[in-house]
Structure 1
Amino acid sequence: MTLSHTHTLRSGAAAWLRPWQPDDDVDALTSLIHAAYAPHAARGLRYWGSHQSADDTRKRLASGLAWGVWVNGALAGTITLRGPQPASDVPLYRESDVWSLTQFCIAPGHQGSGLGRWVHDRVAEVARLEGARKLALDTSEDAHGLISMYEAWGYGVVGHCDWRPLTNYRSVLMAKTLHPRA
């Protein structure tokens, strides 16, 4: 399923979400990801996004359905939606009706604008239409602001997973139920 959607932010800026294309600028996206994760890195959290290479970005984009986010024509974020992952080390991610989010970030200048929630909700709808009954993600158990944000979006902590040595922290595993349309 493809998705291309526009939205007007509270600031009046025009946002556009569309599938990532092979000719989109992966180097620019990698720099944006580094910038988005920089505050976490400054707190000592070694998120993969804080140091990944452009090749890593490409691999992560290819791991699912990937989108880019633009605001007034400038790259402003990304998100990748993964279907069930039968080979995952995380039992929840192996479940046939669980889809998950990865490499989700919004450029620092747009954080707090509602852009991330809008992107999330559009992609959650894609997951629901593809048959997902749950949407899951993981983040550092020390990322209290992110955990609170996801809880406000309807997620709950359902367990833990550990990506060390790729990261330097234990992660909370979070999930939310996607209800069928009436």
Structure 2
Amino acid sequence: MVRKRLHLIFIELDKASEESLIKLGRILYNLEAFAKRHGCPGYLLLANGYIQLAIRYQLLNQEEQSAHAFQLCWKYLHLAELSENDSEESINNAYFGKGLALSNPVRLSTIAEMKSYCRKAAGELLNLDSQAHAEFGAYSMYRNVKEVNEVAEDAKPSLGL
């Protein structure tokens, strides 16, 4: 349902007003909890959204917004990369057993290819410092999500007796 709704939004992105782009950014921001639950496919969904948002801002010559969206795209691509091995079942379910190529409109089949595509699309808007900052944030988030999931798995219901 979420993926279908975002797909419909992305189709109309070339006609989107600045207000609509801000709204899309808010939607993507609020989907972070969804992405955490779904691991790699959820993170790729957000990365796809942020790269499309970044490219649209780029076309409107809004470099600051574009750079920020590219950095968020990089963060979620890195999170997808970190969680890929833990998400095999989710990846299989999300993409009907056909691999990661179904996660993006240009049919790139590896996260390394997606990162390369992002880097090329961003050009100077995504420098090495921005990439490193995004990767640090991604790693911190990944580590925290993993720790919370481990605690949740170990927790047993109790009546306090």
Q: Normalized against structure 2, the TM-score is what?
A: 0.29
> Whose relative contact order is higher, 1 or 2, with alpha carbons under 8 Å and at least 6 apart?
2
**Which one has a larger percent strand, Structure 1 or Structure 2?**
1
Instruction: Find the structure with the greater CA-based Rg.
Output: 2
Question: Where is the helix percentage greater, Structure 1 or Structure 2?
Answer: 2
TM-score by length of 1: 0.26
